[in-house]
Each structure stands twice: as C-alpha cells, then as structure tokens.
Amino acid sequence: MSTWRDGWWRGARAMASPNFGPRPAGAEVSLVVLHSISLPPGEYGGDAVARLFTNTLDPDAHPAFADLRGLQVSAHFFLRRDGALWQFVSCDERAWHAGVSSWRGRAQCNDYSIGIELEGLEGDRFETVQYDRLATLLRVLQKRYGRVDVAGHEHVAPGRKRDPGPGFDWHDLRKRLRWSAERFPALPG
C-alpha cells in the first residue's frame, strides 16, 4: 500500500484547508520551511491552529485572535508538542505559509516548498518527540521528492519573521538526519 495519496501522507491526520493553490508549472519541491505557532500564544494542545488553517477560528474567542480576523493561511503540516502530526494541504499543492520570501536567491518559496508548523513559540524550546517526528517526516519527504533543503521562516523572510527562533535546535536536527550542512541555513558554532 502506498504511503501517499494525491500528495497526502498517510502518516498524518488529514484536515483539509481551503487556503492553497496550484504550484507553478514545472515547480519541484526542493525546500522545507519550518515555522512555529501557538494559539493563543504560549498555549498548547488546543484546536485553534487547526481552526486558523481551516478558516473556522472565531476571532472574538480570545483577544489574541483579533488580529487574525480574515487571515487566510495554511501550512502543509502541523506538528504538535505531543508528536501528533496533522496535514492541511496536499504536498502537491502550494500552501500559503512563507509569504514574501527567498531562499538562496530564489524568490517565492511557497512555489517550491513544503511548510511545517511546529507547535511552539519563538525562543522557547521544542519537545524531543517533535524532533523525532520532524526527522521522520523530513526523511519521508526526501524519499518522495528527492533532496530537500531545510530552513526556518526566519531564514527565508529575514527581518520580517523570527520563527522557529533561537529555541529551535538546528544542530540536533542535523545530527538526527545526518544530512550535510549545506542543506541547512548557516549556523553559528
């Protein structure tokens, strides 16, 4: 049995978002962009992120949601702190996660990337199970799409975005994957 169906990975819980579009003709996935999110900020385990990505978040339900009114965003995957993995957009489609962005001189990252949101905050640490599941997912994506680079939103939209932030352990991820350093952003130390 195939582990993929029309860009949906069977290892994740499917929750379709309406916020996506087609990739440009000839666009091939070659990048994964990591993000961090929690709604409300600093609160984990609820369904607010899923509601945001499916356009069902009530902006009046919490003061922190007011600025999200009418926002239409998505990511391909959302990795919760407990290791649960949800998929919102087929990897064959273009999710709306990176915005104005560029990776190594190539603009419009959404066209050729897969977006993965990690439940967490910029600057906070992430859970071991998140690194475990993320490494598994990245290997699966590499098997399906070939070589993929991995960058943070902060790397593809510097000055505009700061996630996943200094709490994300890039060295740990590289060690788990055993991929060459050239596939990641330049890291200190």
d(CA 149, CA 147): 7
d(CA 94, CA 97): 9
Catalytic-residue membership of 117? yes
d(CA 82, CA 43): 13
d(CA 1, CA 30): 25
Query: How far is residue 157 from each of residues 39, 43, 85, 109, 114, measured CA to CA in Å?
Result: 21, 25, 25, 10, 15
- On whether the CB atoms of residues 114 and 27 are closer than 8 A, the answer is no
Q: Which of 28, 117, 119, 154 is catalytic?
A: 117
- On whether the CB atoms of residues 53 and 15 are closer than 8 A, the answer is yes
Active centre residues (catalytic) = 117
